[in-house]
Amino acid sequence: NAGVTQTPKFQVLKTGQSMTLQCAQDMNHEYMSWYRQDPGMGLRLIHYSVGAGITDQGEVPNGYNVSRSTTEDFPLRLLSAAPSQTSVYFCASAPGDSSSPEQYFGPGTRLTVT
């Protein structure tokens, strides 16, 4: 199993550009989430999904869109990038089983918006 994969690893955008951060998992997990990590702020939840076709907002959803058309994929879209979105983005998945709610994280995407 590859686990949780994210692409790209690094990205530089200009203000106003759009892009999609890709996330895929091959563990057949029901739950997937997107976090951003900034110095001194810890991990903050952007959006999450409890299954294909179902998404919901987290703590900091503004400026980001998500969709979940398959169990495996959970892309994060930035419609009009802003410097405040410079951060490291992590995707995570969880089995959806109450006996094992731990999350599995991808390697992250480092995004810089100039």
Partner 1 sequence: SQKIEQNSEALNIQEGKTATLTCNYTNYSPAYLQWYRQDPGRGPVFLLLIRENEKEKRKERLKVTFDTTLKQSLFHITASQPADSATYLCAPGSGNTGKLIFGQGTTLQVKP
Preceding amide of 8 cis, omega within 30? yes
Please, what is the minimum distance in Å from the beta carbon of residue 114 to partner 1?
A: 21
User: With left for phi above 0 and alpha for psi between -120 and 50, is residue 79 left, alpha or beta?
Assistant: alpha
Binding positions for partner 1, 22-61, rule CB under 8 A: 31-33, 35, 40-45, 48-50, 58-59
Give 44 or 63: the residue with its C-beta nearer to partner 1: 44
Looking at the chain, which runs of residues are DSSP E strands? Answer: 4-7, 10-13, 19-25, 31-38, 42-51, 54-57, 64-66, 76-78, 87-94, 104-105, 109-113
The binding track of 92-111 with respect to partner 1, each residue x by CB under 8 A or -, is: xxxxxxx--xxxxxxxx---
Of the listed pieces 16-24, 60-68, 75-83, 85-93, which binds partner 1 according to CB under 8 A? Answer: 85-93
| Residues contributing to the site for partner 1 (CB under 8 A) | 4, 31-33, 35, 40-45, 48-50, 58-59, 90, 92-98, 101-108
